Each structure stands twice: as structure tokens, then as C-alpha cells.
Amino acid sequence: MALPLAFLGMVLAALGVAVVHESGRYAFARLVRLPLGQVWLRVLAQLPGPGRAGARLGAVAAGLAAAYVAVAAFGLAYFSCHGVPTGDGVIVVAEVLDGQGAAGTLRRGDRIIAVDGEPITMHRMPPLSERVAAKRGAPVRLTLRRAGVPLDVTVQPTQIEPGGPWLLDLVHGAEPEVETGAATAVAAAVRAPIARARAVIADYVNASRSEGDPDPVGPVRLVDELRGTADPPGRLAWKWALAFASYALLVLALLDLLRAAAIGIERLRDRGDG
């Protein structure tokens, strides 16, 4: 259920941004009485040439601005509900192995915030595995945050084979700490489209150099993240919908850049003919 929900959110987000983009172009064109070509669904309009290059450039800019505002508004809704990621990653339990020491004690979604009273994050040294190994098989006291409530539990590490490492028998991932507040959410929402676009470009550059994920924004990466996260399906779908809304904005911006260049070249050609 989670995977279809995530894909549906991504498709609807991308289509929504595209419709808002075209609506902005259409509204500006009507405002300045720019002649329109064929109109679909009362918002998807062609802007035929020649002539009125300034007005046509304004329509292109208006469409992009409308799409940017739409993505920022979507980001504001997301960050207002889930907070703004910041700081070191919190260790989150993604899976507990059945029949082992952690079974029945830890649950999927538990956030591990301390080991034997010492705070821990994904990047704080020593890591969780070394702290467990240092106990040499003795029980480990974990401080959790479960559904927002602090909780202390004791887990007995196990060995797969004699002489092997001591393990807690769980699969864990990381989730960034978050900040809440209206000002923080607004600032993050305004930055989100640009930050996401830069991340997508960097991912593609790294992938082209065989240094990064070969599928930066596609279904393979989504499935991998779905398997390794403790996020509920609704939150994961919302997160990926925001990512794809930003991705759609990047594609539209590139298309608008080509439109603006074509209008500029046409304007220069008209001046040359004059």
C-alpha cells in the first residue's frame, strides 16, 4: 500500500505544479490582453508570436513564479506538520529480527537517543555497534523515544556464532532531527525548491560520474528508501510528493528558459530586419 500511495502522490504533485504553471501563464496573458492560441481546459494556452515579446516574456515569468509559489506552499504545509530536518541523524529502528534478543522489546519506528545513559546520534562516535560490542554480551540499556514518549528498555545482545560480534538484532536507519515553528517552516519552504533542484542536479552529475545513485529520483531509489525507513506511508508519500513537485519545477524552469531564449532571438531578429 505504501508504494502505490507514494507513486500516486508523486504523480499528482508533478501534475499539480504543471497546471499551476500554465494557469499563471494564462492569467498573465489575459491580464495584458496577449493574444492566445489554442486553449485546453481553460488554462493550458499557447502564446503565439510574433510581436509583443515583452508581454510574452512576462507570461513565461508569471508561469514560473506561480509554479514556484505552489511548490513553496506545498513545502510550507509539509514542514509545518513534520518540522524542518536539521542536525545529526537520529537512529531509527527500521526492523527487529524475530526470535532474537530485541524482539518484543524494540519496535519499528523507535528512536534510539541514548545507550547506557550516553546520548547517541547517527554520527556521534563511537557508533551503536561499537557501544554494543564494548559490553561483551552484557545487557544494553537503551533510551528510546516511542511515539514522542521517552522510554528506557534493556536489550540482551546475541552472537550469530561463537566468537562473533555481539549484535542487537535490528536493522536501523537515520532520521534527521527537526525544528518546529512558523518562521522556520516558512524559511525552509521558500528555500525548498532551489535546494531540491540543486540536490537533483548534483545527484545526476554524480551518477554520470558513477559516483552516486544511478537512479537519483526514480522508482529504484524510492523502493530502496521505502524498505529502509520507519516513516509511516502517508509521511513518506508526502515527502516524495514534495521532492517530485520540486523536480517538476526544475523541468519547467528549463523549458521556460528555452522559451525565453527563443523569444529573445526572435526579438533580435526583428530588430535586425527593421
Q: Please indicate, yes or no, whether residues 242 and 106 belong to a single structural domain of this protein.
A: no
Q: Give yes or no: residues 73 and 105 share one domain.
A: no
Residue of 103, 167, 122 whose CA lies nearest to 140: 167
Same domain, 101 and 144: yes
How much is the pLDDT for 180?
Answer: 78
Verify that 120 and 158 share a domain, yes or no: yes
CATH number at residue 108: 2.30.42.10
For the segment 114-126, the average pLDDT, to the nearest whole number, is 85
pLDDT in tens, 151-169: 999 888 888 777 778 888 7
Give the whole-angstrom CA distance, residue 129 versus residue 168.
Answer: 8
- Per residue in 185-238, pLDDT (tens digit) is 899 899 888 887 777 777 777 666 665 555 555 556 656 665 555 566 677 778
Among 62-71, 74-83, 114-123, 264-273, top mean pLDDT goes to 62-71
Q: Which of 142, 163, 179 is the last residue of a domain?
A: 179
Q: Using CA atoms, how far apart are residues 185 and 83, in angstroms rounded to an integer? A: 7
Can the peptide bond before residue 126 be classed as cis, meaning omega within 30 degrees of 0? Answer: yes
Residue of 20, 14, 84, 35 whose CA lies nearest to 242 = 14
Q: In terms of residue numbers, what domain contains 240?
A: 2-83+181-273
Angle (deg, nearest 10), helices 233-273 and 53-82: 170
Mark which of 179, 209, 231 sits at the end of a domain.
179
Share of the chain above pLDDT 90, in %: 13
- Which of these three, 179, 206, 236, is where a domain ends? 179
Please state the domain count of the chain.
2
DSSP symbols for 212-239: S-SSTTSHHHHHHHHHT----HHHHHHH
Report the C-alpha gap between 204 and 209 in whole angstroms: 9
- In this structure, the answer to whether residues 54 and 173 fall within a common structural domain is no
158 and 232 housed in the same domain: no
Q: Are residues 16 and 78 in the same domain?
A: yes
Burial class (CB in 10 A: 0-12, 13-18, 19+), 176: middle
